[in-house]
């Protein structure tokens, strides 16, 4: 499994590109400070985002399938 990760602080957006051999995945992206919500897409298609709290940290959680994906997460 491999991935690239890029955070654009100006737009408060994360791009993650995955590759490898897996059928399904769960991705957890930490919320930037002061962000209240997140919207996401996988390969250009909107996907649902749930929020998990672990101690003092919040994570945007997405589930998907396939080995090669582009995930975009926009924090607001």
- pLDDT at site 71: 98
**Can you give the three-state secondary structure of 26-56, one letter per residue?**
EEEEECCCCCCCEEEEECCEEECCEEEEECC
**SS3 category, 63:** strand
Q: What is the pTM of this model?
A: 0.90
Cβ pair 70, 15 in contact under 8 A: yes
Percent of the chain with pLDDT over 90: 92
Contact, 3 vs 16, CB < 8 A? yes
Residue 50's contacts (CB-CB under 8 Å, 6 or more residues apart) are 60, 61
**What is the rounded average pLDDT of the residues 35-56?**
97
From the candidate CATH numbers 3.30.1370.160, 3.40.50.1970, 3.30.470.10, 2.60.40.1180, the one assigned to the domain spanning 2-75: 2.60.40.1180
Percentage above 70 pLDDT, the chain: 100
């Amino acid at each position: 499994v491999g991935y690239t990760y890029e955070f654009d602080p100006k737009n408060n957006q994360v791009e993650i590109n995955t590759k490898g051999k897996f059928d399904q995945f769960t991705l957890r992206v930490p919320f930037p400070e002061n962000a209240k919500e997140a919207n996401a897409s996988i390969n250009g298609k909107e996907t649902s985002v749930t929020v998990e709290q672990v101690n003092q940290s919040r994570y945007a959680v997405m589930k998907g399938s396939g080995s090669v994906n582009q995930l975009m997460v926009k924090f607001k």
